[in-house]
């Protein structure tokens, strides 16, 4: 994925709307992080950003970060401990594989939307929306 192409084609409005829709169905929190830097280890860098963004401090420990580094042609999807306990490695592998295929086809927005949708379904199944739930984290795309 060419970084400028990815950034220019990513439909931020649709991504933010998808995050809000997914979060409306659960108590989970989803964030998307778009890095303009090179990353040798996207997973490790995603885990660092997960902590830095305060995603480990959600009420139910059910946050998910989709970390995109187009300059390095890499990405990672990271879930907090409660999410990972519910789904395990196979779920994440499936999300990453589907997103990878879409990214390789140049369907950048669709790849991110797919990751949000699959994650949203998982969160809705295991972490239903609390009647008194509040949005703990913003939906906007984080950029560096």
Band of residue 2 on the pLDDT scale cut at 50, 70, 90: low
| Mean per-residue pLDDT, 107-112 | 95
Supply the pLDDT for residue 3: 62
Three-class SS state of 90: helix
Distance between CA atoms of residues 130 and 1, nearest Å: 38
pLDDT digits (tens, 9 = 90+) for 28-40: 999 999 998 999 9
pLDDT digits (tens, 9 = 90+) for 38-54: 999 999 999 999 999 99
pTM: 0.94
Query: Residue 11: pLDDT above 60?
Result: yes
**Beta carbons within 10 angstroms of residue 79's beta carbon:** 25
* Number of domains making up the chain: 1
User: Which domain does 125 fall in, by range?
Assistant: 3-143
> Residue with structure tokens 């949000």?
116
- DSSP E strand boundaries for the chain: 29-34, 63-69, 74-79, 142-143
Three-class SS state of 128: strand
* Ordered alpha helix ranges (H), 53-136: 81-104, 108-126
Distance between CA atoms of residues 45 and 127, nearest Å: 26
CATH classification of the domain holding 126: 3.10.310.50
Asked if 82 contacts 113 with a C-beta cutoff of 8 angstroms, the reply is no
Distance between CA atoms of residues 2 and 50, nearest Å: 24
Supply the pLDDT for residue 123: 96
pLDDT digits (tens, 9 = 90+) for 53-104: 999 999 999 999 999 999 999 999 999 999 989 998 899 999 999 999 999 9
142 - beta bridge partners? 33
């Amino acid at each position: 994925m060419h970084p400028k192409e990815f950034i220019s084609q990513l439909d931020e409005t649709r991504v933010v709307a998808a995050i809000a829709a997914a979060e409306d169905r659960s108590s989970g929190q989803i964030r998307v992080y778009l890095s303009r830097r090179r990353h040798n280890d996207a997973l490790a860098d995603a885990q660092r950003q997960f902590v830095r963004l305060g995603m480990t401090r959600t009420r139910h420990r059910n946050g998910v970060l989709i970390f995109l580094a187009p300059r390095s042609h890499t990405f990672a999807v990271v879930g907090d401990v409660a999410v990972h306990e519910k789904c395990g490695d196979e779920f994440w592998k499936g999300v990453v594989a589907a997103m990878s295929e879409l990214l390789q086809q140049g369907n950048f927005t669709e790849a991110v939307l797919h990751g949000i949708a699959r994650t949203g379904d998982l969160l809705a199944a295991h972490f239903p929306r609390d009647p008194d739930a509040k949005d703990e984290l913003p939906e906007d795309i984080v950029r560096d």
